Each structure stands twice: as C-alpha cells, then as structure tokens.
Structure 1
C-alpha cells in the first residue's frame, strides 16, 4: 500500500494545476485564435477628369509661287487691292492675282515641283498653296503647267465662268479659257483629269478635250497635226479708213492675237475685232496657238489712203450750149 502523500506535495500539485489552467486561455489567444480581418481602407475618392481633346492634324505648311521670269508688263493684285507692276523674284500667296498684258508673258514656279507659264492676255488668281495641293483660278487666257511626277503634289486649275477643272499629279498640260464658258485642255506629258457638269474624262499625252457652255468635257481626241486658221480679208487692197475688222475662225479654245492684240474666240473658234491701221502700207499678222501646242500665222498686206479726192474744177463754158434755142 502506497504511503499517503504529504501535504506539501499536494499543495505543489494544486498550484501547478492552477497555473496550467490559467495559461490555457492565453495560449489559445496567441496560437489558435484567428484575428478578425482588418477593416478595408475607405475607397479613394473618384476624381472626374475632362477627356483629352481629340488630336487635330497640324495645318499644312503654306507655300508660295514666285515670279521667276517676266517679259513685258506683268501686274499683281494683293487681295482686293489695286493692280501694280512687279519684277522677277516677287512672291505670290493665296488671294493674290497676277495678269500679263498684251505682248507679255510670265513664268511662275513653286520650288522644283510646279512651273506655270502665262501667255499674253492671261489672268490667274492663287486659291491654295500647300505641300500637297496647289490650286489656281484661270480667269481668261492660256497657261501651260508642268508638275513634277512623284512629288505627291496635286495641281488644279479652275476656270472662271465655268465649273470646269483640270487636275493632275504629274505631267505637262495647257489650258485655255475665253472667260465665257469655253475651256480647253491639251496634254503634252502624263495625264489630266478634266471635269465639268458632273463628267470626268482623262486626257492623256497627245490628246485634247474641250468644255463648251453648259456642257461637260468632250471625249478626248488626238491633237491634230496642223492648226486651222481661216481669215476673212478685205476684198479691196486699199482702204480709206485707218481701221479694219479682222475676223476669222480657228480651232475652239485657241489663243489668237493680231499684231499683239488678244482677240477672244467663241465656242466654235470664231473671232472678230476692229484693229487700228496706219496710213500707207500695212502688214497685218494674225497668230493662233492651240492647247495642243500647235501654232499658225497668217499675214495680209494692204494700203490705207485717207487723202480726200482732189477738188473738181468745172469749166463755166460747159454750160454754154452753142446750139440755138429751140423754137
């Protein structure tokens, strides 16, 4: 039989048991208890921002046309200002206009991309000059334009008094406008889109087309080998007045001048104008040029004598009848 425990050992046992029981809640909290989830942080305030503006294409760089060559009298008008004479090297900008007077011509250039030759009696205004587009308005007369291919440059010529437009991206073409709705295009190199009254034709090298009032461009035809020029010369070789009516007919859209004076032609190529003459012998030269580059010249010689006839002297004796009076 075991010996009874001593009171001291019993007290120790009880104290140890009490310590273990007291430590159980602390151990559970430290090792077995899961802490409550941390509170979520408050949501960040929503800041409304303005949408960025849509990206806009930067405007195209503006170019200028320069008057590279001038012969005779050439005038420029800035905006709505007055016409004034210019010299080679001056620049032209959109809203400017340039004109060549009789017996004159001018050459306009846009770098190495575009070259425009204006014949005598021609007026153009500049409507647009950018890296990709050049546009002119041909009021009247004749221009020949060369556009360097492969430069991504579109060149347009509009015609005043008509809805006709010639457009190319490379090549050389001539365009005329009589200012009354007759517009012609002839292409020497490349091809040109010729537009009018909702119709579009492609005028290729060696072809020409014409727009008449109220009609679209004609189907392109080959440029003829010669230019028609017929004149109605006076029947008498001597005139008694110091002026003469010069009339005739040529190919529609042609450029006609008489001794340097520009004569407009109608939609059938007819022309008529009074020109001054000098006393004595006169040589009248008529020159025509077509949009196909053809030229023709005719001349006619005549005399002008405005001297009044000599005074007639009447012999008084012619009224004395030697015969006796009748009975």
Structure 2
C-alpha cells in the first residue's frame, strides 16, 4: 500500500530532527566542554644514594677527633692561637700544633687518620673528595690511609721549608721534619711515593725508609733499622769544673732529638749541640732520639759539677 501524502511530508522532518539530536553531544564535546588540565611534567628519576656517596661526603670533613695535653688551633695565617676542642672541624689554612707531652689525631672521614706527636705543627692545605693535602711544618706525624670500595682517596703530606712530599692511596707511613726541610719517611704498610727536588721520586715500600734533604732528591730506600742511631760525645772525667758545658752528638738525618722532653735542633746530617747549664753536684742528662721506625735510642749520663777550691796540703816531711 502506498504511503499517504502526510507521512511522506513528515519523513524529511523526522530525519532532520534525528540528525540534530545526534549532533548535540558532538557539539557539546567540541565547543562547550572545558579542556582537561595539562598533565604535570614527568619527575626526573631519583638518584639512589650509595655507600660510595656517603663515603665521599665524609671524606671532605677533616676533624680534630681526639687529643691529649696542650693542643692549639689557628684559623688562617692571620688568626690567633686558641685551645683545641674535640671534633673541631678544620678547613684549608688552619694550623694545629701540639705541646710537650701532647698528641692529637685528625680524621678525614674513614679514609685518613693523621696522628701528630708532641711538639708537632701541621697546616691544612686542601680537602676534597679525592684528595687531602697537609703540610708538616716540624715534628713527627703518622698517616694511615685506608682504601674504601668505590672510593679512591689520596693523602699528601708535604714538608715545610723543603722539597719533600709523600703520598699514598693506601698504607701507613711516618714523616719527620727537623723544621728546616730535612725529612725522613718510613713506611709501615703499603707503598709511599716520596718526591724531592725537581720531581725526582722513589717508592718507599713497607719496612723501608728514605731521606730528603733540602735541594736534593730522595735517597735510595733502605731497610728501617731496629733502633734509631745516636752517638754522643760526652766529656771525659768524673768531675767537671765549669758550670757551662757543650755536648755534641749525631743521629739519623731527620730523626727527632730531645733532651728532657725539649726538642733539640738538628742539621741536615743529624748533627746537634747541647748547651748545658750545670748545677753544683750531680746532674742527670737524658737525650732521646726518635725516628720514623725502629726503637727510640736513649742515653742518660750523670755529670758532676764540683767547683770547690782544691786545697793543697804541704808535705810535713
């Protein structure tokens, strides 16, 4: 049956209405919907802190860990001396000195330990993750450098007033400086590079020592003797008539010589002179030589001063 004329007229209207209704969601989505908020930028990947990073952070902290007796610190060349305090942080240009009968230990994280003996002075030159550099002005100091996994740290100990420079990344060595640049280095563990004049160097291995005099290259390393060498020239005779007395002696170059706990200056060859003021009667003089290895050498001599006039008796016969 054919569609009626009214139905044929309604068909286009209905089709148009359907198309309009279908287009409404699309128009809302395109024209009326608010655009979504932009996505935040991606976060950078977080760096995992490793044990090596922790070790490197510790390595830049040079700390006066422990001490005993009189220890003073000076911050910078223009600073004034002040008493040290435990765990005091040290920075480049700081100076540390120990008094008679005193000692101090400096730590650079877990990489370096530096022990200063009595009447020793050092100054801090450089501190970084990879390098610690300290200058030994005078005295005796022992450095222990520990190798750490994934962390390489080099420790350098220089001598003031001379050309000597000792360095190692793992080992234990002792350096002495007579204050005039004559240096002795003895190695207990590991290998130490000892440099002298014009960059000439030797490798001082465990159980060896070498000497550097100002303006000279290091001597060939030789075994550390069992005891320090020292020879005294004492006056002859049991009684002395003069209160002022000069005594000479000789020790290993770079060795520390002390009389009654006081440092005695030595020359480049280890020679020294004692100027004594004796009192009437018995005088005990004690001289000790300490080196970079081996047992210290000690000599004690009793000097008797007798200034009483000599009375001569006449022979009755």
For the aligned pair, the TM-score class normalised by the smaller chain equals: 0.7 to 0.9
In the TM superposition, what whole-angstrom CA distance separates every residue of 1:64-120 from its partner, at most 9, and x where no partner exists? 322233232211111121122223332222110011123322222223221111122
1:167 corresponds to: 167
CA contact (8 A) 1:254 1:289 kept: yes
Alignment TM-score, normalising by the size of structure 2: 0.73
1:1-327 matches, cutoff 5 A: 63-79=60-76, 80-150=78-148, 151-197=151-197, 198-240=199-241, 242-305=243-306, 309=309
CA drift at 1:278: 4.4
Alignment TM-score, normalising by the size of structure 1: 0.71
C-alpha distance in structure 1 between counterparts of 2:294 and 2:143, whole Å = 12
CA drift at 1:227: 2.2
In the TM superposition, what whole-angstrom CA distance separates every residue of 1:160-183 from its partner, at most 9, and x where no partner exists? 111221000011001111222311
In the TM superposition, what whole-angstrom CA distance separates every residue of 1:27-77 from its partner, at most 9, and x where no partner exists? xxxxxxxxxxxxxxxxxxxxxxxxxxxxxxxxx867332223323221111
C-alpha distance in structure 1 between counterparts of 2:165 and 2:280, whole Å = 46
Q: Which has the larger radius of gyration?
A: 1
C-alpha distance in structure 1 between counterparts of 2:250 and 2:161, whole Å = 22
CA 1:227–1:260: 2 relative to 1, 3 Å: same
1:51 corresponds to: none
Secondary structure class of the residue paired with 1:116: strand
CA drift at 1:237: 3.2
| Aligned alpha-carbon RMSD (Å) | 2.3
CA drift at 1:269: 1.2
Name the count of aligned residue pairs.
252
Gaps of 5+ in 1: 1-59, 313-327
